[in-house]
Structure 1
Amino acid sequence: MRPPSFPLPSARRLAAAAAATIVFALGAAPVALAAPGDNGDVKVHDSTTPVTNQNDDPKVCRFYLDAFNFDTVTLVNWTISQQPPTGTAQVLAGSIALATGSGATQTYSLPDGHYKLDWTFVGENGSAKHKVFDVQCATGSPSPSPSPPGSPSQSPGASPSQSTAPGGGPHGGVGTGGGGSSGANTGEVIGGAALLTGAAGLGLRALRRRPGRNAES
């Protein structure tokens, strides 16, 4: 018994199938070619971060934008807008010229707050790409306020011209206001010597008169 035979497809059917395959291939080609153009990224870098670093800096002070890994793109347009609670206004805009898929902007500065970066380029698929970041510059601790002019430099009650003895009281001569515990005043010494001299003279006179009075009696 012979196996059943199936009729071969006609030449017209083969031609239609080949045409459909070609149309499908041509229709998918633009998509396949456009996909590599979407490669690439833009990072927010602190001013101290090198351009070779491909990581994001989510908190920056002074910053720049770093683009890399783009395939066929030569120019990237970007904007930076405030984000709540900081606000909603657009604050910066510009473009990055790419050479061999990489490029960077100048350094920028913004007030502290929340911001969003958006960038677009010709031939991209879908909506613009974006990143959020914070501007937060370090602030130094406040310096102590200076003393007002004319304010005393020592604590009240302290006298710079006196020192305290171990016993707790002042020391020094009377002439210096220290209490007189370490020697007599020069004027007092001279006065005392004069009084002693006068008393001695009176005593000598009294002794001389006594023999005369005894002879008369």
Structure 2
Amino acid sequence: MPLVPLVRRAGTRTAVLAALTLTGTTLSAVPAAAAPGDNGDVMIHARDTPAASRSNDSRVCDFYLAAFDFQAGETVNWTVQTLSEVPAESGSVTLDGTGAGRSRLIDLPDGQYKLTWLTDRANGAGKFKLFQVDCPDPGPTPTAITPSGPAPAGGGGIARAEALTPVTGAAAVGLAAVAGAVWFRLRRRSDGAA
């Protein structure tokens, strides 16, 4: 039996390992054929994003889901839940003949959410996306202005207690006394003479 030098065996072993590694890398780079029903994608769209847009909005307020590239006539079942796995919304989208469709408008409180979807023909746990609901603060709500002071003439109602201080009370009594004296004086003179 011929003896192969050790150096030559080590070089052959290295070459074989390199070839196997390269082959494994090339084989793993080939995408596996998607199972029927697992080939589409769902995008999160802000209210004003066109339904045909292939962009995904990761920060939204009111939003809807747009589905693309599924098999025609499939139904996509979806669930939106908080990151602590508490369900927040769920529903389904029936896709048209092109494999596309959209959900209703969804309104959730601000927070981090996870969208999971699975088609009715799919095998597996489904696919998911993380996103954030962040609606602008509407600002302070307007409050009713409460008028203070006496009601305007003919307005009826009762004056507020803060408007009736001792000074205003004395002024009102003095004004009433003067007005009464003038009225009596003018009434006594029926001929209008001074």
Structure 2 alignment gaps of length 5 or more: 1-31, 150-194
Deviation at 1:125? 4.3
SS at match of 1:91: strand
Q: Which whole-Å deviations, capped at 9, do the CAs of 1:49-99 have from their partners, x for residues lacking one?
A: 110111111111111110011135611111111114xxx310111111001
Greater shift in the superposed pair: 64-73 or 40-49: 64-73
Does 1:91 find its partner at 2:74?
no
Partner of 2:110: 112
Answer whether contact 1:41 1:69 (CA < 8 A) is retained.
yes
Inter-partner Cα distance in structure 2 for 1:110 and 1:123: 29
Deviation at 1:132? 1.0
Change (3 A) 1:145 1:75: closer
Partner of 1:59: 59
Greater shift in the superposed pair: 41-50 or 70-79: 70-79
Change (3 A) 1:72 1:38: farther
**1:105-144 equivalent positions in 2, closer than 5 A:** 105-142=103-140
SS at match of 2:49: coil
Answer whether contact 1:73 1:122 (CA < 8 A) is retained.
no
Inter-partner Cα distance in structure 1 for 2:144 and 2:117: 50
Deviation at 1:38? 2.2
- Normalising by structure 1, what TM-score? 0.47
Which structure has the higher relative contact order (CA within 8 Å, separation 6+)?
A: 2
- Partner amino acid, structure 1, of 2:95: L
- Normalising by structure 2, what TM-score? 0.52
Deviation at 1:146? 9.0
Deviation at 1:145? 8.1
Inter-partner Cα distance in structure 2 for 1:68 and 1:47: 17
Partner of 2:46: 46
Structure 1 alignment gaps of length 5 or more: 1-30, 152-217
Q: Which whole-Å deviations, capped at 9, do the CAs of 1:121-170 have from their partners, x for residues lacking one?
A: 1343442100111111111444898987459xxxxxxxxxxxxxxxxxxx
Larger CA Rg, structure 1 vs 2: 1
- Partner amino acid, structure 1, of 2:64: Y
Change (3 A) 1:35 1:49: same
Inter-partner Cα distance in structure 1 for 2:142 and 2:77: 47
Aligned CA-pair RMSD: 2.7
What stretches of structure 1 move > 4 A for 4+ residues in a row?
143-151
Change (3 A) 1:149 1:129: same
- Partner amino acid, structure 1, of 2:92: S
Partner of 1:102: 100
